[in-house]
Amino acid sequence: MYKYDEYDQQMVDARVAEFADQVKRRLAGEITEDQFKPLRLMNGLYLQLHAYMLRVAVPYGTLDGRQMRMLAHIARKYDRDYGHFTTRQNIQYNWIKLEDAPAILADLASVEMHAIQTSGNCIRNISSDQWAGAAADELTDPRPWAELLRQWSSFHPEFSYLPRKFKIAVIAAEEDRAAMRLHDIGIQIVEKDGVHGAAFYVGGGMGRTPMIAPLIKDFVPLDDLLSYTEACLRVYNRYGRRDNIYKARIKILIHELGADEYRRQVEEEFAHVKSLGIDPPKAEFDRIAAQFAMPPLEASASDKVDRTDPDFAVWVDQNVAAHKVPGHAIVNISLKPLGGIPGDASSAQIDLMADLAERYSHDELRVTHAQNIVLPHVRKADLFAIWQALDAADLATPNLDLISDIIACPGLDYCSLANARSIPVAQKIAQRFADPARQRDLGELKLKISGCINACGHHHAGHIGILGVDRKGTENYQLLLGGSGAEDVSLGTITGPGFDEDGIVDAIERVTDKYLSERTDGERFVDTYRRVGMAPFKEAIYG
Amino acid sequence: MVEHLQADGEEPCVTLDAFLDQSNATAVRLESDEDARALIPFLDRLKLIEVAFPKFRDGRGYSSARILREAGYSGELRAQGDVLVDQIGYLKRCGFDSFAPEKDLNPADVEAALTRWPEHYQGAADGAVPIWKLRHG
């Protein structure tokens, strides 16, 4: 994985010094909260309901054992002994003191980490496929391109006061594990006539106006990647709406202009921008790519897995995925234990995952947008030992992509924007479907919960989505069906009137019962929904 | 016509509309929603372009500045309005070489902000050599 050189380190160190100075001026009353707000936000520091929340960047979700251990250290020293992994492949700490923030950033910088641009109206942390570099189905590792974009977008002087936040994802497989088309820019590395290029999807997003990004350019030569991205951003910075925060994302601009007109403007800008020489030479890409080389995996490792222990066998079937090198596998660690808080991990659990990465996964971990953790390069022969260690730490729940593998935003328990709680609803649903055999029978079922219309819990993209709203002072939950954030991307449709906290759990059970009675062989929930439509489900829910 | 008087002896800036109408002015003010490219045919005779920042969060002026510098404008480029010390570094990188903040800035803070970053990741309009170029000589 990527290692900082002196330049990268110096950038992060300068940022720590800058923010320490800004905090000092704020605490001394030299700058107002209004002036301080965008500065702290660009360092990942939000003011939440009860305390400051710090969001730490995990670029494209990749980190090593030493970095993971630092995340545990921060949870232990500055927070309440746990952290929350997010849908942006980052980690958040919910109980931070403003005066501690500079020290935390300094601790992070000591392990090549930061909180730069994890918030604010700037280009956010670049996200990617959590199985990048390991997946059997990928064209190439997308992360070198993501790293190139990370450096280009860091402290970008023109694009630090955009109309609104800006999220970029890069993938390189047909299977989309990063919700690529629900980003402001989704880039897919593709192949044409034996040459790799980038397909640009621009103007996707969730929030209160969900949109699937249209294809703006099917093949951008990789030598033009940064110029083309810069052109996309410049058109947005100049013409994106600034009169209404809810209409300021690039998706609205593209929706209002139309994809063809936006493309025309980008092409015109690109013709100019390309002449500026902002694209690094291939040598720079090669320097970065060399650091993402496949670790030295044993080519002769055995494919055999001893499945004698039935619980272990269930976990292997559910949470272990195919690796591109024989004898190896990708381990998905569920942060969704029964009754737990989706995405939360204690310091001890974070340390344990760091240990396992160092011992069994060539010192590499990934954070997934579904709020789980991945050990990407594991020998199949080590799977049993890993499972035993995870099981002892309540990290071996065999529910990847099942109904209890719920994405949930922090909701009204933490967030100042929320209208309703998300966590208790996630816990009640997981309890209702606690029987593992029942979950496996339901098969792949992506359930996503947001506690407000801003959709941090990706409810639009859930096979089953839940949106918490405030209805006359009480929490009310709307139900959506048929969304997907994967390569079969789609937006969910609201079933009808909402429910209270227990009612929504009952409604979901009626939906899954209906699916079981309607499905044909091999159909996932979302396939059945797409085939039969909303009507039978509506009938089952509302009678 | 709205005039924005600057320092003593300086020609007042005219609005973009007025500039495009008349033409012998050498100083023009660009509001944040106006198209910098409208000035490109006239850059040779302009001595001052003032770009408005009605709110520091309104970042359109950064693109305006780069477009003007990229088109070869070499006169004074001034950021006027809600210009704060924490934006000065980015403004300079985008090509601004003078600042007319509504509220006075502490010179020591400005100096610290402008010298904070020894290098930069990306090329912009200030002539700084990007880090990738430093890496590869």
Looking at residue B5, its pLDDT comes to 40
Say yes or no for a CB contact (<8 Å) between B117 and A35. no
Give ∠ CA B90-A149-A163 in degrees, rounded to 5: 50
- In chain A, where the domains are located: 6-109, 137-288, 324-392, 407-542
Instruction: Quote the pLDDT of residue B6.
Output: 47
Judge whether A237 is closer than 8 Å to chain B, CB to CB.
yes
Cβ of B59 and A10 within 8 Å? Answer: no
Q: Quick one: which H or E segment has residue A95?
A: strand A91-96
Give the orientation angle of helix B107-115 with respect to helix B85-93, to 10 degrees.
40
User: What number is the average pLDDT over the span B34-58?
Assistant: 96
A465-502: per-residue pLDDT in tens?
A: 999 999 888 999 999 999 999 999 999 999 999 999 99
Give the pLDDT of residue B9.
62
Token match 């000092």: residue? A24
Q: Do A284 and B70 touch (CB under 8 A)?
A: no
Ramachandran angles phi, psi of B115, nearest 5°: -110, 5
Mark yes or no for CB contact B121/A155 under 8 Å. yes
Q: pLDDT digits over A60-97, tens only?
A: 999 999 999 999 999 999 999 999 999 999 999 999 99
Pick the CATH number of A137-288 from 3.40.1180.10, 3.30.390.10, 3.30.413.10, 3.30.1360.120: 3.30.413.10
* Residue A386: CB atoms within 10 Å: 23
User: What pLDDT sits at residue B8?
Assistant: 55
A14 touches chain B (CB under 8 A): yes
SS (H, E, C) A49-73: CCCEEEEEECHHHEECHHHHHHHHH
Nearest CA in chain B to A30: B106
The full set of domain ranges for chain B reads 14-136
Domain B14-136 listed as CATH 2.60.60.20: no
Q: Class for domain A6-109, per CATH?
A: alpha beta
**Residue B65 to chain A, least CA–CA distance (Å):** 9
Q: What is the pLDDT of residue B1?
A: 32
A12 vs B119: CA distance, rounded Å: 11
CATH architecture of A407-542: 2-Layer Sandwich (3.30)
- The predicted pLDDT at position B2 comes to 35
In order along its 543 residues, chain A shows pLDDT tens digits of 999 999 999 999 999 999 998 899 899 998 888 888 888 988 899 988 888 999 999 999 999 999 999 999 999 999 999 999 999 999 999 999 999 999 999 999 999 999 999 999 999 999 999 999 999 999 999 999 999 999 999 999 999 999 999 999 999 999 999 999 999 999 999 999 999 999 999 999 999 999 999 999 999 999 999 999 999 999 999 999 999 999 999 999 999 999 999 999 999 999 999 999 999 999 999 999 999 999 999 989 999 999 999 999 999 999 999 999 999 999 999 999 999 999 999 999 999 999 999 999 999 999 999 999 999 999 999 999 999 999 999 999 999 999 999 999 999 988 888 999 999 999 999 999 999 999 999 999 999 999 999 999 999 999 999 999 998 889 999 999 999 999 999 999 999 999 999 999 999 999 999 999 999 999 999 999 999 999 999 999 998
Domains A324-392 and A407-542 share a fold: no
Here the ipTM equals: 0.94
Give the A window 392-411 contacts with B, CB below 8 Å: none
A 204-233 near B (Cβ less than 8 A): 226
A39 vs B: CB within 8 A: yes
Do residue A39 and residue B86 have CB atoms under 8 angstroms apart?
yes
Q: How much is the mean pLDDT over chain B?
A: 91
**Predicted TM-score (pTM) of this structure:** 0.96
Q: Domain A324-392: give its CATH code.
A: 3.30.70.3340
Chain A partners of B117 at a C-beta cutoff of 8 Å? 11, 14, 155
Name the one residue in this structure whose structure tokens are 């600042």: B99
Give residue A523's Cα distance to chain centre: 26
- Over chain B, what HEC string results? CCCECCCCCCCCEEEHHHHHHCCCCCEEEECCCCCHHHHHHHHHHCCEEEEEECCCCCCHHHHHHHHHHHCCCCCEEEEEECCCHHHHHHHHHCCCCEEEECCCCCHHHHHHHHHCCCCECCCCCCCCCEHHHHHHC
Angle in degrees, 0-180, between the axes of helices A225-239 and A259-273, rounded to the nearest 10: 120
Residues A126, A168 contacting (CB under 8 angstroms): yes
Q: Does A151 touch chain B (CB under 8 A)?
A: yes
- Which among A4, A7, A265, A291 is the top mutation candidate for probing chain B, defined by the most B β-carbons within 10 Å of its own β-carbon? A7
Q: Please report the pLDDT score of residue A285 as a whole number.
A: 97
